[in-house]
């Protein structure tokens, strides 16, 4: 399964009024693992950024003046995302800008070049209704360090979003299951397997004080039940004979 986490920076907020893409960053996941095969371009938008947008991304007209125009990198971007599922935070914003840029070149809309588009903002709102679900807020919620993010950047934000997406969709997998990895795709390098018998799990015994506190709770339960609670009942071993096994 190939997925691309994608983010853009733009000259402003509205592609319909002439704002343009100035940066695009793509991070590749294969079978939920970062491959390091990323794509990143700064783009000359042939116009200035709005002051508000400039304060967010810090990419000046002077810095972008010698960078390639979108027409020069469009085919490489489309080849990179072809048939992959695309993961974007607030997808309508980025897709709207990509569609506007492609329309200027007479190319089909972005979604015709890729697989499914997954919006992590929609996912986050379903998981955390009524809470802040910006990328920064999600990084805080999942304990992902974004201390190095002083300004927005398309590649940096894609890398952070990749970590957020993996954390948000991991569910209840344990550390051991995560270490074992998933089945590798054909042609990919298999992840190293971990033998269960090689894992030494620490055994921490309760202290005398903790045992006393535990027994006190059980005493209260016994009083309330006027008998012996299930927590003090020894499990009964069940022996299976050959007939039982055959009839199972």
Whether residue 214 lies in the annotated active site: no
Q: Per the residue annotation, which of 148, 152, 183, 214 is the catalytic one?
A: 152
DSSP structure string for the chain? -EEEEEEEEESSS-GGGT--EEEEEEEEEETTEE-S--EEEE---SSPPPHHHHHHH---HHHHTTSPPHHHHHHHHHHHHTTSEEEETTHHHHHHHHHHHHHHTTPPPGGGTSS-EEEHHHHHHHHSTTS--SHHHHHHHHT---TT-SS--HHHHHHHHHHHHHHHT-TT--HHHHHH--PPPTTSPPPPP--GGG------PPPHHHHHHHHHHHHHHHHHHTS--GGGSPPPP----HHHHHH-
Q: Which residues belong to the active site?
A: 152
């Amino acid at each position: 399964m190939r997925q691309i986490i994608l983010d853009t920076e733009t000259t402003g907020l509205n592609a319909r009024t002439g704002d343009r893409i100035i940066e695009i960053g793509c991070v590749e996941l294969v079978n939920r693992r970062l491959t390091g095969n990323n794509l990143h371009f700064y783009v000359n938008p042939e116009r200035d950024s709005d002051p508000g947008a400039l304060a967010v991304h810090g990419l000046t007209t002077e810095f972008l003046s010698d960078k390639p125009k979108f027409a020069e990198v469009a085919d490489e971007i489309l080849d990179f995302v072809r048939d992959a599922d695309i993961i974007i935070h607030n997808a309508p914003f980025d897709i709207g800008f990509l569609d506007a840029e492609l329309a200027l070149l007479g190319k089909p809309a972005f979604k015709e070049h890729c697989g499914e588009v997954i919006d992590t903002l929609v996912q986050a709102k379903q998981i955390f209704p009524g809470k802040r679900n910006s990328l920064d807020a999600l990084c805080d919620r999942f304990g992902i360090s974004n201390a190095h993010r002083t300004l927005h950047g398309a590649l940096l934000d894609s890398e952070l979003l990749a970590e957020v997406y993996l954390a948000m969709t991991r569910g209840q997998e344990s550390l051991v299951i995560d270490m074992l990895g998933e089945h590798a795709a054909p042609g990919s390098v298999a992840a190293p397997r971990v033998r269960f018998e090689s894992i030494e799990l620490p055994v921490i015994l309760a202290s005398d004080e903790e045992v006393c506190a535990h027994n006190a709770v059980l005493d209260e339960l016994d009083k309330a039940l006027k008998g012996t609670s299930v927590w003090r009942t020894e499990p009964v071993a069940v022996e299976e004979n050959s007939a039982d096994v055959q009839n199972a």
